[in-house]
Amino acid sequence: MPSLIRLLVVLGLLGGLCYGAMWALANLVPPHPREMSVTIPAERFNR
């Protein structure tokens, strides 16, 4: 049973680290807005 508890603790810590890293990237890294242009082929309008 101790090996099961150790496995669950390690998996919980890894999951917490991944969750913390995603939270930090989402909330602490500012986005850089930039202009975006998408070319649409003329065939899509001539239906």
Round to whole Å and give the CA distance between 31 and 25.
10
Round to whole Å and give the CA distance between 11 and 13.
5
pTM beyond 0.95: no
Could you write out the DSSP letters of every residue in 12-35?
HHHHHHHHHHHHHHHHHSPP----
Round to whole Å and give the CA distance between 4 and 10.
10
Q: What does the pLDDT look like over 1-46, one tens digit per residue?
A: 789 999 999 999 999 999 999 999 999 999 899 999 999 888 888 7
